[in-house]
């Protein structure tokens, strides 16, 4: 999981897609590389189990297996935590690539770019996609996160189709904005376990698509309830997106 802009939901997406894949009987390892600012362990409810971290592995203070923390919910899900008391310069690109190569024998992975429907986030995502392609990583798919249907209808947020056209990569998921994610994060339980969560359901579908199932993308606008004013505008034949710019 990567992005150009911070705060677009990489950690939430990693925890939930990783969990959903593990619940489909895949062996999944998630690695927090946000050295000095780790929080994937908190989102997954594993903060009290961390003994060794990513830097301990690359600096030889522990074996890879010692740093793999098994998830308490999904049996085939493992976490390698980032170091909390170091900075990003303590690990090199080559060391991280080497770690991923060691994990490849037991785990599969691809590049997923996370963005939100905001101009700055999309611009930065485009830059990251270019860097991935330059590194000869070809299996790149996009997660558009925190889509707010009401803002899209008002013309105040970009439509998912516009984002996909700008970035020219295939989407693996369109995740709606969902307050239940906050509750799940605070409890240390990924939102995929919450059957009432719209975002949780989409993360489950993302895992199924990664696993090769042909599940059509569902635009959050099609699932979100329409307001009374939207219904009035539809009856009157008013295009809300166009009128919002008048």
* 183 appears as a binding residue in the annotation: no
CA dist., res. 37 & res. 50, Å (int)? 15
Question: Any binding-site annotation on 241?
Answer: no
235 Cβ contact partners less than 8 Å away, ≥ 6 residues apart: none
SS3 letters across 145-212 = EEECHHHHHHCCCCCHHHHHHHHCCCEEEEEECCCHHHHHHHHCCCHHHCCCCHHHHHHHHHHHHHCC
Q: State yes or no: 11 annotated in a binding site.
A: yes
Contact of 112 with 17, CB cutoff 8 Å: yes
Tell whether residue 7 is among the known ligand binding residues: yes
**Is 130 annotated as contributing to ligand binding?**
no
Determine whether the annotation assigns residue 6 to a binding site.
yes
Binding site listing for ATP = 5-12
Instruction: Give binding residues as ranges.
Output: 5-12
């Amino acid at each position: 999981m990567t992005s150009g802009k911070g705060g677009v939901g990489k950690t939430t997406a990693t925890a939930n897609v990783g969990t959903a894949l593990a619940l489909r009987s895949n062996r999944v390892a998630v690695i927090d590389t946000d050295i000095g600012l780790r929080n994937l362990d908190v989102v997954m409810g594993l903060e009290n189990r961390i003994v060794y971290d990513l830097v301990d592995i690359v600096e030889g203070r522990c074996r890879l297996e010692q740093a793999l923390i098994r998830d308490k919910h999904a049996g085939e899900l493992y976490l390698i935590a980032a170091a909390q008391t170091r900075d990003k310069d303590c690990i090199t690109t080559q060391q991280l690539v080497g770690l991923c190569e060691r994990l490849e024998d037991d785990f599969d992975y691809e590049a997923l770019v996370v963005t939100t429907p905001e101009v700055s986030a999309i611009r930065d995502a485009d830059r990251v996609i270019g860097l991935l392609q330059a590194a000869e990583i070809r299996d790149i798919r996009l997660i558009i996160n925190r889509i707010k249907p009401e803002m899209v209808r008002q013309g105040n947020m970009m439509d998912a189709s516009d984002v996909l056209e700008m970035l020219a990569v295939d989407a693996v998921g369109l995740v709606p904005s969902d307050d239940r994610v906050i509750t799940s994060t605070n409890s240390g339980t990924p939102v995929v376990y919450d059957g009432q969560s719209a975002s949780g359901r989409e993360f489950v579908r993302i895992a199924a698509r990664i696993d090769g199932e042909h599940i059509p993308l569902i635009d959050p606008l099609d699932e979100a309830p329409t307001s009374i004013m939207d219904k009035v505008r539809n009856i009157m034949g008013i295009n809300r997106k166009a009128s919002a710019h008048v």
